[in-house]
A = this chain, B = another copy of it.
Amino acid sequence: MIKKYVYGTPFETEAVMMEIENAEGTPEYGKVCCEQKFCFEYEMSNKDMIFGLGQSNRGINKRGYIYISNCTDDPEHTEHKTSLYGAHNFIVISGEKNFGLFVDYPSTVCFDIGYTHSDKLKIECEYCDVTLYVIEGENAYDIVKQFRKLIGQSYIPPKFAFGYAQSRWGYKTKQDYREVAREYRKNHIPIDMIYMDIDYMQDFKDFTLNEQNFDDFEEFVKEMKQNNLRLIPIIDAGVKIEKGYSVYEEGVKNNYFCKKEDGSDFVAAVWPDDTHFPDVLNKEARKWFGSKYKILTDKGIEGFWNDMNEPAIFYTPEGIERIKKSMKEFIEKNPSKDDVWFMRDSLLYLANNPQDYCAFYHNVNGQKIRHDKVHNLYGYNMTRAAAEGLQEIDNNRRYLLFSRSSYIGMHRYGGIWTGDNMSWWSHILLNIKMMPSLNMCGFLYIGADIGGFGADTTRELLLRWLAFGIFTPLMRNHSANGTRRQECYQFEKIEAFQHVIKIRYRLIPYIYSEYMKAALQYDMYFKPLLFVYQNDEIAREIEDQLLIGNEIMIAPVYTQNAKGRCVYLPEEMMMLKFLSNGTIHTEQYEKGYHYIAIELDEVVLFVKKGCCIPIAEPAEYVEQIDTKNMKLYGYINSEYLLYDDDGITKQYQQQNYKTMKYE
C-alpha cells in the first residue's frame, strides 16, 4: 500500500511513474511538521533497522549516522562524509513497524538516523515543498519491491556491458588503447570494453576528438571492434567556452545554458577551464544536448559514461575574484596562523562552493528556478538527455549508459558507477555494502572502480576486488592519473588475473539472467542476507556477505594477507570453488560458521540449498560465451530458470525464459 502526501508546491522531479491520488490527513507513522521546513520524526524501537539511501556512506543498516542528500563531487569517501554523488531519498524502517518513505524533494535532504539521539529518526528539508510517499508492507523486501514498481523499470544495458572493462584516466593516444587491447588479448584475460577518459577529447570539449591523436576515429572504433572491444567515451557536464566550437555556439544562441540572475550565461571552471552548463532541466535544451551523442554513435560508439554532473565546479570567476582580493590583503600582512589557514581554506572551498550553486538558474517550462533548489536533479537529467537522445537514434536498441551523479528516476535511464573511490581495502567493503542499497533505489547497473581510483593499489588488493567485482553488473578496473598503473598485466604472475576474470565470463549467463529478472520483475539483484533469511539473528547483522540473484550467496575476502575468511551460512549450502586450474570444486557445508580457504587466484560462491546455476566454459569476450554448452552446478534434482535474449534489442519476451534441469 502506497500513500502519497503532498506538502506545499513540490517541484515535479518525474522520479515516480505511477499515478497515485493524494492522500488526506497525515501519515500514520511518525510525525510530520511543515512550517517553514519540512520535517519527519519517528521514534525508533531498539530492534528497528533502517535500509535504503542508495549511494550513501557506511553500512547496509543505515542506523547510527547522519546522511545528507546533496550530490557532491568529493573523492575522499572516508567514514564521516555525509554526502556522495547521488541523492536517493528512499528509506525503509523495519522492525517493530515496517514502512518505507520516499522523500521526493530535489534539493538537500538530511536524514538523521539515530545520530543526534540513538532512537530518533529525523528527516529534514529546507522548504516544505515535498511529496512524501509512505509505503506499507510486510517486511523490508516487500516494501522495496513496491517502491520499485512505483518508480518504474530499471535501465537495461546491452549484454556486452556485462563484460570486463579496463579504464584509466591518462590514456591519450591510439597507442595507449592498442597497448591495453594487445596486453589483455595476449595474456588471454577476457575483456569487452576500454573506457575513454577525458583526454580523448580536443581540449576537453564534449563530443569532439583530439585532432592529433584520433584523426580517423571511426576507423579506430572499427579496429577495436574487430578485436571484440568496444570503446566507451566519457561525456562531461560543462561545455567549453570557445568561439567556433559548435556545441558552445549553439547553446549560447538558443539559450540552452544555465544563466545567472542577470541573464548572462553562468561560467564555471571544470576540466576545459571556463565552461557553461547545459540546462538539462529545460526540455528543449535537454533534447538538444541529448542529440549530440549521435556525433559519436555515428562513428560506431555504443555506450557512454556521464561525468562531473553533480555538477562539479572547480571554481568560478567570482570565486577567483574573491581569492585575489584576499591574497592582496594577505600580501600586505605579517600573517598569523589564522590568516594562513584562511587562505588555505579559501582555496580549498573554491571547489563546489554552495555560494556558486546559488548563483545560476534553470528555465523549467519558462519558470526561472535557482539551481540550489533543484541541485540533485542535474546528473539525472543530463543522463536522461543522453538516454532520450540515444532512443531517438534507435528506439529498439540498448546503449550502454551510466552516470556519476543521480537521483531516483535516473535508474530508468542508466546505471551509475560509485565515483572516485580509493585503493583502500575498506572500499571493497563499502562497495559490497552499497550495492544492495542502490538496488533498493532502482539502480541495477552498478559497480565501483575496481582496484580503487585514487591512491596506489596493490596486486593483492586488485585481485580480491576483482573477485568481488565478478558479481557486479558493471565490472570496471579504473584508476586516476598519477597513481600506480593497475591494468592486470602490470603485475607479476598475470595468470592469476586471467583465472579470476575468466570466472566472470563463466558466470555471465547467470549474472545476466538474474539481472534481467531483477529489472523486469522490479526485484533486487544484490540482496542483504536478512531480506531472505528474515528470522536468522546472525544473518540480520551480516553486511559482508550478499545474495546475488536468487540462487547464490557470496562472501568476498576484503582484508590484506588473508588466505581465506570466516563465512556464515544461514542454511546448508553448496560451495563452488573455482580453482586456478579451471576446475570447480564443490563441497556441501552445513548451516553455521566455516573458515573457507580462498587463494588469491580463486573465487568462491555458495549455491543455496535446492538450487543450481548454469556455468559456461571460459570465454574472452561476451559474444564468445557458448550458452548452448553450459553445465549446471549445485544441488542435484533442481532447476534453474534461465533468461537470455539477443542482448541488444528491447524484446524482453516471455519466450526468453527457459528452464534448465540438473538431473
Contact = CB atoms under 8 A, between A and B. Distances in A.
Interface in A113-143: 114-115, 117-119
A330 B324 CA distance: 8
Q: Top 10 nearest A-B pairs by Cβ distance? A: A593-B593, A80-B455, A344-B347, A79-B424, A327-B327, A61-B561, A64-B560, A324-B331, A538-B595, A64-B460
B423 A80 contact: yes
Nearest to A349: B344
Interface stretch (A22-30, A334-342, A371-379, A607-615): A334-342
Nearest to A331: B324
Interface string A329-358: 011000111001001100110100000000
Interface string A309-326: 000001100001001100
Interface stretch (A174-182, A362-370, A562-570): A562-570
Contacts of A455: 78-80
Given A118-B459, A327-B331, A456-B80, A336 B422 contact: no
Interface string A431-474: 00000000000000000000000011011110000000000000
Interface residues of A, number: 66
Given A64-B460, A76-B78, A324-B331, 17 more contacts: A65-B560, A78-B78, A79-B455, A80-B422, A117-B492, A118-B460, A269-B340, A273-B336, A324-B330, A343-B347, A344-B347, A344-B348, A344-B350, A347-B347, A566-B568, A592-B593, A593-B595
Interface string A91-128: 00000000000000000000000110111000000000
A479 to B, nearest CB: 13
A422 B78 contact: yes
A341 to B, nearest CB: 8
Contacts of A76: 78
A76 B81 CA distance: 13
B328 A273 contact: no
A426 interface: yes
A541 B598 CA distance: 13
A58 interface: yes
Nearest to A426: B426
Given A320-B340, A492-B118, A561 B78 contact: no
Contacts of A460: 64, 118
Contacts of A347: 340, 343-344, 347
Contacts of A458: 64-65, 114-115
Contacts of A330: 324, 327
Interface in A547-571: 559-564, 566, 568
A331 B343 CA distance: 14
Interface in A524-561: 537-538, 541, 543, 559-561
Contacts of A158: none
Nearest to A120: B492
B327 A340 contact: no
Interface of A: 49, 58-59, 61, 63-65, 76, 78-80, 114-115, 117-119, 269, 271, 273, 314-315, 320, 323-324, 327-328, 330-331, 335-337, 340, 343-344, 347-348, 350, 422-426, 455-456, 458-461, 492-493, 537-538, 541, 543, 559-564, 566, 568, 592-595
Contacts of A340: 269, 314-315, 320, 347, 350
29 contacts: A61-B561, A64-B561, A79-B426, A80-B423, A80-B424, A80-B455, A114-B458, A115-B458, A119-B492, A269-B340, A271-B337, A273-B336, A314-B337, A314-B340, A315-B340, A323-B343, A324-B331, A327-B330, A340-B350, A343-B347, A344-B348, A344-B350, A348-B348, A537-B563, A541-B561, A541-B562, A566-B568, A593-B593, A593-B594
Contacts of A118: 459-460, 492-493
Contacts of A331: 324, 327-328
Contacts of A64: 458, 460-461, 560-561
A61 B78 CA distance: 23
Contacts of A343: 323, 347
A70 to B, nearest CB: 17
A570 B261 CA distance: 69
B563 A541 contact: yes
A110 to B, nearest CB: 14
Contacts of A426: 79, 426
A313 to B, nearest CB: 11
